[in-house]
Every structure is written in C-alpha cells, then in structure tokens.
Structure 1
C-alpha cells in the first residue's frame, strides 16, 4: 500500500483530502502517489483525509470538509480507475493518536463512501483505531466487510504486536477474517517490543494453532 502525499507534515498537515482550500495540492499529491505506486506495482493508495484546521470546531466545519473529501475522492476514483488502483480511506482515532484528524470512525467513513458511490474507493480497516473509537469489532467487521479494501493490525492500547498484552484477542479476530473469506493483505502497523523479526513470531503461532 502506498500513501498519498500528506502535505507539509512539519507544518501540521496529515493528508489533504478533506482540507478546505488545498484541492490543487491534493491532486498534485495524487499524481505523485500514482507514479510511485506504478513503479512499485502497488495496487492500493491511502488517500488521507487530513486534520480539522487549527482554531476550527469539528462540528462547525464537518459538512464543508465532508463535501471537499467527497469531491476529491470522486476525482481520485476516476483517475485511479484508469490505472487499476484502489483508493483507501482510513479512520484514525481522535482519542489517543490524533485529536484533530477529520475521519475518525468506520461509521463516518461508510457514510462518505455511500455518498461517493465509487467501487474503487474502499475502507481501510485499522483494528487498532476501530477498537479505540468504537469497539464492537465483531459486528463492525461483519457490517462493513463489503466495503473493506485493506486491513491493518496492532494491539491496544500500546500499538505493539498483536500477541502482546492488551485488549484484543487476535486469534479470534483472524478467525473472523478467515471465516468471512477476506482475501487481502494484513498490514502490520505496530511498534515491536523487540526486533522486527521477533515481533513476527505471532504468525507462526497462529498458523500452528489454526491447523
């Protein structure tokens, strides 16, 4: 998975998809992301929504930002379809990770995708963020499975490997994904407690237990 140009991160940007007045930059960033994706033979690009502007109240700008996001995603969907690439939108929790991120729940993302109506723009399910914002993972996975285009994992609350101590039973969650026939990749977006190789031991353990 590639990530669309997030803007000036040092200045506080974290994506431009829903940010007022940054539409031209979003399109330029999309062009750049497509070039990288084609060079790497990557078939998915994360289209980051961005943050609520400093000094703005979330509820006051929600409608404007949603409209801009839908507009930018519509443009992106048409461009990406010509390249055979799927666009992804990812809710990021606003309780721990980023209080100002615009897209913060699968429910909000599903509403936007329904308004968009483009089959090549999908929902990126990061289980870490979903658990923090809403929980109810079993029902939400089943409910939103038809629009999920990518899955990412990390333990809650410290964002370590899935078999580390925390709130989530990943053997159970992996079984759900297998039972509903999820065929995509699972991204390991976590902070290893030790080395990267050691942190991947859960894969062998899960395969052994699931046979």
Structure 2
C-alpha cells in the first residue's frame, strides 16, 4: 500500500510571502516535494522555473485562466460564446479545466443543455491538445450552496455523467473534499464509487476551510486512510485557509506522525496531471 503524496497550494499557503518563488521555497522547507496553484499567469514564467528548480519541487496543478474576474468570470469551459478565449487559455495551463458560472440572471435548468454542450466541445478539444503532451486535464465540481452559487459544475454525479459522455481517458475528476462534503456528504461511498475517475484530490476542513486537523465535520485520518487503502496514487493538494499568521501547514511538518496527514518524507514520483 503506497503512502499518499501531498502538495502545497501556494495560492492558499505561505501568503505572508508576496512572491510565488518565495512560496515554492517555503513549501520545500515545510517538507513538500510538489506544489499546486490557482493562477500564476501574472508571474514571470522564467523566474518561476528558476525558483522551482532551486526549491526542488514539482508543479502538479494550475487552473486554466479564469477570464475577467472583475466582470464575473470564473473559468470559461462551459460558457457559450467564449470558446476561443478558453482555447487560448489552454495553452497556458497545467491543468484544471474550469467550467465557469451560469450567466447572471439565467435559469440553470434552462441553460444547462447549451452549457453542457459547450463544455463537452471544449473538453474534447482540450483532451486532444493535452494528449499530444502526455498530460491529463481535470474537471472539478465546486459547491453552489456556499462558495459559488452560479458555478455550472457542482457535484461529482454531474461530473461523472459529463465524463461518461465525453469518453476521453485523459480528462479526469478532481475531488475537492470541502466541496463534496457541502454538496452531498456520503464521502466514503462517493470515494469508492468515483475513485476510478479521480485524478487529483484537495483537502480542507468543513465548514471553516482550515487545516485538516482543525475543528470541523471531517475525520481526515479516516478519509485519507480510506484513499490510501483503496489505492489512490495521485496527489493530495492542501488547499485551505491557515489559521493565524503562519502560512505553513503545522500539521504537515516532517516527523509529526501524530497528525492526521503529513507530507511524505520521500519525493515519490511526480505526476503530470493536476487541478
């Protein structure tokens, strides 16, 4: 039974450091051998590459560009009329293929069929592009009860149906435990049911979205043990809001075997797919 591999989300952790290059070094110092991020497109890619090599970490996940956040965009994968923007952004990401929001003022049920058709078209295009690079894309359900009420893709069940219709082996499911718990609960059975589709996992406590060992609804010792027993081989991304001022994962310091989850002490084999 292989140990789980953890990566630090440097968009959420080590935010006391303004520069992403510094956060890569901080992640390495905390014991991580891999990192993920939401968006890095405002950073100099050559500087980030130098920082990554110097820190000795792999970048295993970046979101596709969100579009214009000031105008309400949050991904473009399922947004009608924005197909060209989605394809341009695809050239920049590593890659979580963000679905985007239901247009403001629209009835979700009335626009669902059109948005699903656009999403499938864009995912098919992305799958073909990524396959040439030997890469995997991910789709992530985001909860619509608290975090993003208008997000198009909001449950693992919906995502599974879309993946079945798509039929592309290199587009997989991203399991964010925070969102799955809020939308559906039943985590044990959903993990078992959808594990064959899951290419990446992210963790945070519910409801505060803090460290896994903070007070909340979830027993991460059990959940992560379940993933390990079932043979999950991808990365587990630490995407949470740290308590207090310290940006690092106190629960994840190497040698802290009393914590519910810790980064592995050996690098493991880096993956090519990501959120």
Q: Which structure: greater helix fraction?
A: 1
Equivalent position of 1:13 in the other structure = 73
8 A Cα contact 2:213 2:260, kept in partner: no
Distance 1:198 1:146, change over 3 A: closer
Q: TM-score, normalised by structure 1?
A: 0.91
8 A Cα contact 2:211 2:243, kept in partner: yes
RMSD: 1.4
Identify which of 12, 15, 22 aligns with 2:82: 22
Q: 1:1-211 maps to which residues of 2 (within 5 A)?
A: 1-33=61-93, 37=94, 45-194=95-244, 195-201=246-252, 204=256, 205-206=259-260
CA distance in 2, matches of 1:207, 1:3: 25
CA distance in 1, matches of 2:253, 2:223: 13
CA distance in 2, matches of 1:3, 1:207: 25
3-state SS in 2 of match to 1:131: helix
**Structure 1 consecutive aligned stretches of length 4 or more whose deviation exceeds 3 Å:** 198-203
CA distance in 1, matches of 2:140, 2:79: 15
Q: RCO higher in 1 or 2 (8 Å CA, sep ≥ 6)?
A: 2
CA distance in 2, matches of 1:12, 1:206: 37
CA distance in 2, matches of 1:122, 1:198: 27
8 A Cα contact 2:138 2:172, kept in partner: yes
Unmatched segments (≥5 aa) in structure 2: 1-60, 263-275
- Give aligned pairs, total: 198
Task: Report the alpha carbon displacement of residue 197 of structure 1 after superposing the two structures with TM.
Answer: 2.5
CA distance in 2, matches of 1:8, 1:82: 28
Distance 1:96 1:147, change over 3 A: same
Unmatched segments (≥5 aa) in structure 1: 38-44
Q: Deviations over 1:46-103 (max 9, x none)?
A: 0000000011010010111001000000000000000111100000000010100000
